[in-house]
Amino acid sequence: MKQLLSLLLLAFALNANSQISINTDGSIPDISAMLDVKSTSKGFLPPRMTTAQRNTIAYPAAGLVIYNTDEKALNLFNGMDWNSLAPVPVFFCGLTITINHVVFGGVAPVNKTVAYGTVNGIAGVSSKCWITRNLGAAQQATGASDATEASAGWYWQFNRKFGYKHDGTTRTPGTSWISSINESSDWTQANDPCALELGAGWRIPTFAEWNYGDASWSGGLYMHEAGFLSYSDGSLNDRGLYGNYWSSAQYSATFGWGLYINSTYRQLNYNNKANGYSVRCVRD
């Protein structure tokens, strides 16, 4: 018993400020730390879990750390989303970027891991890099009239960061629908789902980028007819018939500019900000 107490005394040193040091030399904790672990032969072992297990953590605190056994890397929750602490390779357009979308960030409507292809050299905007599927789309569209939910991805109302999934019957989340938006503002960076979900540098396209860029199905972006959610009640309309994509520019306090496409033509028009449109992300 005395030996156990001696080991405990060696292992823990508590100072007057309730700081704790775990060590074998009896040293006091560093003045800047509440918990100071010292060792020259052992490491710190955080909880180990899969991505699916991590995503079941209810209300994770900002700063929470786990070891992700799928990614083989530490993950940190930043208050909105889980971020991998694995070294980030230098990005160049043409790479596939894999994003673990989680609902805790207030942007993604469901938990989903998506691998986004990227492409540049698009006629009219050749210096820009684009994702080749809609934000939130589980798969690359198979054609201009692809009417599947997996290819459609999610929908956003103008200058609102939270997205909606629609499986053809049910809208997720099924929260009260905003049927009217009246504010004099372009799409702000703080609400841009491209930046929030894909990371710094990504954003919703400008009016000029949609106006001059080749947004045809064959243009390399695989733009397709994902439909839209009606401003009146959030119901799904025209999937497989028309495509509607927001730009970052407003037309007025109640209307925003967007790209409208179908099988025969494309045009920029303005429409009710409360409509739920698709988002396609770009970076310089």
Helices (H) and strands (E) in the chain, counts: 5, 19
**Rounded mean pLDDT, 176-200:** 96
Fold of 46-87: Seminal Fluid Protein  PDC-109 (Domain B) (2.10.10)
124-143 confidence digits (pLDDT tens): 999 999 999 999 999 999 99
User: Where does the chain hold its CATH 2.10.10 domain(s)?
Assistant: 46-87
44-86 confidence digits (pLDDT tens): 899 999 999 999 999 999 999 999 999 899 999 998 889 888 8
Mean model confidence pLDDT for the chain: 91
Q: Which tokens in the block code for residue 180?
A: 């009217």
pLDDT score, position 15: 59
Buried b (16+ CB within 10 A) or exposed e, 101-139: bbbbbebbbeebebebebbbebeebeebbbbbbbbbbee
Query: Lowest-pLDDT range, 122-131, 146-155, 227-236, 263-272?
Result: 263-272
Query: Lowest-pLDDT range, 7-11, 166-170, 260-264?
Result: 7-11
